[in-house]
Amino acid sequence: MNPSLRDDVVAWMALDPDENDRRTLSDLLDADNEIELERRFAAPLTFGTAGLRGPEMAGPAGMNRATVRRATQGVLAWLDEIGVDAKRGVVVGRDARRGSETFNDEVVRVLLGAGAVVFELPSPLPTPFVPYCVKALNAAAGVMITASHNPPQDNGYKLYAPDGAQIIPPDDEIVERHARNAGPATLADRSAPGHTTVASSLLDEYRAHFLGRFRVDGGSDLRITYTPLHGVGGETMMSLFADAGYANVTPVSSQFKPDGSFPTLPFPNPEEPGALELAIETADDSNSALIIANDPDADRLGAAARTDEGWHLLRGDEIGWLLASALLDEIGAAQQMVATTIVSSTMLEKMANASGVACATTLTGFKWIARAAGRGVLGFGYEEALGFAVDARVADKDGLSAALALSRLAHDLSLKGQSVLDRLDELETRFGVHATSQLALRAAGPEGPALIRRVVAELGAAPPTMLGTLSVREVVDLNDGWRGLQPTEGLFFGLGEWGRVIVRPSGTEPKVKAYVEVTPPQEGSIAGQRALGAELTRAVTASLSSLLRF
């Protein structure tokens, strides 16, 4: 076995607090299983698009007690390096995934052992409560134990900066540097003087604020089906619906209670094909007009609308346009701004321009969207991956408040005999059809990240001249920066007046992703434009599928 690898394993084991994980690594050493040890040690977890995420397993490439302990020591050292006093407090929360309670406990013990103040959420709760509390309490940082919509075997560690938004470079690099060099941790329990449980009154203030914005006075007859996809959003969202005036909300009973094994879902992600099948069955039985879905930590919003032919699953971009259509007048009056990402549809910018509202385009991830307004106020931000921020009180995506905002729009439209699909028709008639599609190819195994980067690099070195039936008229390596954005991994292909394609490695999973947008000419009927857009995006996606081979 490689002596350097053996030394790394032995050094890790010396600081690993978990007996079972130490035994696993020891057995692998005894068996000289270099392949498996390489998988666990060659590529340690790093802060990607949304924090640390990975499978629960022993070693630095997995989520485990040692990884969490080191990361938390890194957080403390980072706060010290940037001059933020940890005695301002660190908000700590968790979802209901397997391992989340244990990892939450590690975070709390390490923070208290270092003399930090801890504001701990009282139970497994939605992720948006952590960034909300960071801002409301003027805390030093926030930590949320969650892997959001990842598969059941994964867990994760989201880190929020003092401004309530997820950390960005170079803060992530500082945390990782200190985590790599972490030694034995000093631990303390919850009897330490710095521990506080977040008061229910603070969470009630969150509820009161968003109910004040989106409540239906006099109540609503709108029939809604809701699913939290076995996550932590269920009780909170149903309470919000009731208090907001919706008396006809039917939960998907088999998916309502938190369950980290996600027994009814292959992937607990509202974007995945089939994820809303049980919701559709429930909605048909209850004659609902709208389906609302949260992902397991309730920071994302999925939705579907009833049509004469069945159900239309709303794409993230479509939900973004709908929410913007309801919020832009208010945002303009308040002189706020909106933001979206380079992989999301370009329609928001057109909508904002028509309303006289400034619109920013950021890199992928809400850590960038949340900061797009600079010293101003972000009134609305969204990304195509079902992430929406409808209020500056939460400097991150929030599937709870976004659900209230979308439901309010659906209610208001229903009073006119319309649906959200009628609003989409209006928007695309005015601003043009924006056909989008996405390709995601997974590369499993320890060599996956390297394969993904190689494929993207090869595509950039020999870019296509055609994608589908459209000419590639511009190629940009995003590593060189683009339109004032920071360098990032990925490629931009401009399709002239027809749209664009962006290819990039996923920041949360071992995937390469391609994002396609085609904007056909505004000629003929909306149905005809949509049919042409769908045909062109299918052809572009097919070309990309043949090019992105592992």
Q: Is residue 217 part of a domain?
A: no
Of residues 148, 345, 401, 543, which has the active-site annotation? Answer: 148
Same structural domain, 296 and 400:
yes
Tell me how far apart the alpha carbons of residues 38 and 487 are, in angstroms, rounded to a whole number.
29
Same structural domain, 51 and 28:
no
pTM of the complete model: 0.95
Which CATH number goes with the domain that contains 412? Answer: 3.40.120.10
The pLDDT of residue 508 is: 66
Q: Is residue 211 part of a domain?
A: no
Same structural domain, 119 and 178:
yes
- pLDDT surpassing 90 at residue 451: no
The pLDDT of residue 449 is: 76
Tell me how far apart the alpha carbons of residues 232 and 147 are, in angstroms, rounded to a whole number.
12
Catalytic residue check, 148: yes
Q: Is residue 182 part of a domain?
A: yes
> 């969204």: which residue's tokens?
382
Q: How would DSSP label each residue in 382-438?
A: EETTTEEE-STTSSS--HHHHHHHHHHHHHHHHTTT--HHHHHHHHHHHH---EEEE
Same structural domain, 246 and 348:
yes
Which CATH number goes with the domain that contains 530? Answer: 3.30.310.50
Same structural domain, 36 and 66:
no
Average pLDDT of the residues in 417-421: 98
* Selected residue with higher pLDDT from 441 and 417: 417
The pLDDT of residue 156 is: 97
**Given pLDDT bands bounded at 50, 70 and 90, which one contains residue 446?**
low
Rg (CA), the chain: 23
Tell me how far apart the alpha carbons of residues 517 and 405 are, in angstroms, rounded to a whole number.
26
- pLDDT surpassing 90 at residue 6: yes
> 């801002």: which residue's tokens?
135
Q: Give the β-pairing of 470-471 and 466-467.
A: antiparallel
Same structural domain, 28 and 91:
no
Q: Is residue 156 part of a domain?
A: yes
Among residues 376, 401, 431, the one where a domain terminates is 431
When divided into structural domains, the chain yields a total of: 4
The pLDDT of residue 505 is: 87
**Given pLDDT bands bounded at 50, 70 and 90, which one contains residue 9?**
very high
Same structural domain, 236 and 357:
yes
The pLDDT of residue 250 is: 98
Q: Is residue 206 part of a domain?
A: no
**Full residue range of the structural domain in which residue 484 is found:** 435-547
- pLDDT surpassing 80 at residue 310: yes
Among residues 392, 409, 431, the one where a domain terminates is 431
**Within 10 A of 242 (CB to CB), how many other CB atoms are there?**
11
Q: Find how far residue 318's CA is from the centre of its chain.
A: 17
> 């990402």: which residue's tokens?
341
> pLDDT tens-digit profile of 239-269?
999 999 999 999 999 999 999 999 999 889 9
> pLDDT tens-digit profile of 344-358?
999 999 999 999 999
Same structural domain, 382 and 255:
yes
